[in-house]
Amino acid sequence: MHIAILGAGAWGTALALSFAQRHSVSLWTWRPDHAAAMNAARENTRYLPGFPFPETLNVGADFNAAVACADLAVIATPIAGLREAAARLASARPDLPFLWVCKGLEAGTGLLPHQVVAAVAAPARCGALSGPSFAAEVARNLPTAVTLAASDGAFAEHAAQALNGPRLRIYANDDLIGVEVGGAVKNVIAIATGICDGLGLGLNARAALMTRGLAEITRFGVALGARAETFMGLSGLGDLILTCTGDLSRNRRLGLALAAGRPLPQIQHELGHVAEGVHTAHEVARRARALGVEMPITATVCDVLDGHLSAAGAVERLMRRDPKHE
């Protein structure tokens, strides 16, 4: 199978390296200078240094050439680039099945990724690839398991079987909303957990925060039409555990820096990569209010990000909430 990876950030590059072990892969970047640099170094020194490209991996900046012979495309842009990439793909190869790997809600619209795709394309076979997966570990060929979700269950099963490998195990799922919500909102909870750890509040507090965060994710997802059991799987609990506790998590690191009192713009600049939880927090909070879903952790994270509340004040607010049934 020939796979076109559309987006050469860390995650797109890691997937290209993994899939290239079993398939023909083209890695596309929108910047010609980035493509030239990767071809010269035969690695992505900007976003995923230290992982040499195999000779069989094709790299370029020509979108049409990248998708011309593809059997499957994988859009590996941040969610801010999903709309444009899906529109370009629909124009170039309207019948080509594709996946997206971004996690979050679109800034300004609050749409989940599948809703963004539906606004610009009408693909018959498409879905999301999500779950607990740090790019560097996938690139190192360490064991990883993720979920491939699509409204068309048959497509999800077929694509999962085709992409499944000895080190990247892929499970099929037909709860697309649940998988996307889990992947999006866990980034918000990871910011909160980073704040908690940065303040030195201990493992008890971290466990409580993650557990109540999972409750928020589930309430929000069910209100949008997801199945509650999805959040007990890889794209829910699994991704939440990894992102809240792993030192490679950008959202967790952002929370740690907020706890240290550093300004948000400086933190984002120094991260060098997108921390999706920043924009997602506000979009989730807006949609939750419209749905009448209570999400106190998410609302508190928004106030910290906006500078309305200190990290210490966030903890005090959450701990002073009235006791309730679990």
Cα 130 → chain centroid: 7
φ, ψ (nearest 5 deg) of residue 95: -100, 5
User: How many CB atoms sit inside 10 A of residue 94's CB?
Assistant: 11
Closest among 305, 195, 210, 166 to 253, alpha carbons compared: 195
The beta strands (E) that lie in 52-143 are given as 58-60, 72-75, 98-100, 126-130
**Sign of the alpha-carbon dihedral angle for 255, 261, 264, 266:** negative
Closest among 59, 9, 6 to 35, alpha carbons compared: 59
Cα 30 → chain centroid: 20
- Residue 103 designated active-site: no
d(CA 189, CA 68): 40
User: How many CB atoms sit inside 10 A of residue 261's CB?
Assistant: 10
Catalytic residue among 83, 114, 186, 287: 186
Residue 246: exposure state from Cβ atoms within 10 A (0-12, 13-18, ≥19): middle
d(CA 198, CA 165): 37
Distances (CA, A) of 175 to 46, 95, 273: 35, 23, 29
Q: Which residues pair with 27 in a beta bridge?
A: 5, 59
Positions annotated as catalytic residues are 186
